[in-house]
Amino acid sequence: MEQTTLLYAVPACGALALLFAYFRSAWIRRQDAGTEEMAKIANHIREGAPTRGAPRARR
């Protein structure tokens, strides 16, 4: 491949990957949470997951 082809192909592939990730995450958010027990477990995971920039607890 020529360098000019790669110059356009690489950003185009990156943009396609971002679009795929966006649509996949939107599809996942639209899904049913499941049974009450599954929703409860998911909530516990969400509460216990560290957020970006938050310091982790030392053990």
d(Cα 39, Cα 53) in Å, to the nearest integer?
Answer: 26
CA distance 30 to 22: 13
Average pLDDT rounded to a whole number, residues 4-22: 95
Please give the pLDDT value at position 42: 86
The residue with greater pLDDT, 56 or 41, is 41
Name the pTM for this structure: 0.58
**Stretch 27-35: mean pLDDT, rounded?**
90
Instruction: Return the residue matching tokens 């970006």.
Output: 52
Residue 46, pLDDT score: 84
